[in-house]
Amino acid sequence: MSGLRNFYIVTTVILMFSCFPSRHQSRLPSECVFCTISEHSGTRMVYQDEDVIAFHDIRPAAKTHLLVVPTKHIETVKALQGHDYTTVKKMEAVGRRLLREQGYTEENTRLGFHIPPFNSINHLHLHCLGLPFRNWWIGGKYSHNTPLWFISVEKVLEKLSADA
């Protein structure tokens, strides 16, 4: 019972603080931390092409935690439209390939997006997690069973496909 109680306490704290804008939340792409990220900024890039970049999350929630980010500024998962299907599909393909190259299988990976206001940065980024999680309670933040703050890449692609 105390584990569930702790989960709700942590969730409440996360919800309370997520209402306050992060120093990384920006309305202008020129001020966006992901729009200006590069190897020169000290970020460990693991993949880069003209459409997407991928790098390690600075606060990993799992054994491996990569972010795949489109080079084109898209605010959040809520800003996606049918014409963004190809971008999200490429983000998924890159994330799955990078995790597979590190020895992960479909069963021990999780790919998805945080839903505003529960995202930390207003630039679309796909969380690519190679499990296990670093601790038991953080897994709830990336659960497909919590549709209020995390949505799987598969569900996003289904929605975009229907919107196209």
Residues with Cβ within 8 Å of 156's Cβ and at least 6 positions away in sequence, in order, are 77, 80, 88, 112, 113
Helix, strand, coil shares of the chain as percentages rounded to 5? 40, 20, 40
Cα gap 113→111, rounded to integer Å: 7
20 falls within a domain: no
Beta strands in the chain (DSSP E): 45-48, 52-56, 62-70, 109-114, 126-133, 150-152
Q: Flag whether pLDDT at 7 surpasses 60.
A: no
Cα gap 48→70, rounded to integer Å: 10
87 falls within a domain: yes
24 falls within a domain: no
Q: Flag whether pLDDT at 14 surpasses 60.
A: no
pLDDT in tens, 56-97: 999 999 999 999 999 999 999 999 999 999 999 999 999 999
- What is the pLDDT, as a whole number, of residue 3? 54
Cα gap 124→162, rounded to integer Å: 20
Of 129, 163, 134, 123, the C-alpha closest to 144 is 129
Q: What is the CATH number of the domain that holds 51?
A: 3.30.428.10
9 falls within a domain: no
pLDDT in tens, 125-162: 999 999 999 998 888 888 877 778 999 999 999 999 99
Is-above-0.75 flag for pTM? yes
- What is the pLDDT, as a whole number, of residue 28? 61
The amino acid present at 112, given as its one-letter code, is G
Distance between alpha carbon 30 and the CA centroid of its chain, in Å?
A: 21
Whether 127 is a known active-site residue: answer yes
Cα gap 128→91, rounded to integer Å: 10
Cα gap 73→70, rounded to integer Å: 7
8 falls within a domain: no
Q: What's the start-to-end Cα distance of the chain, in Å? A: 45
For 49, the domain range is 29-163
pLDDT in tens, 88-105: 999 999 999 999 999 999
Say what percent of the chain tops pLDDT 70: 80
127 falls within a domain: yes
Q: Flag whether pLDDT at 25 surpasses 50.
A: no
pLDDT in tens, 35-53: 888 666 778 899 999 999 9
**Catalytic entry in 65, 114, 127, 144:** 127
* Residue 23: band (very low, low, confident or very high) from pLDDT cuts 50, 70, 90: very low
How many domains is the chain partitioned into structurally?
1
119 falls within a domain: yes
Cα gap 74→65, rounded to integer Å: 21
Cα gap 4→16, rounded to integer Å: 18
109 falls within a domain: yes
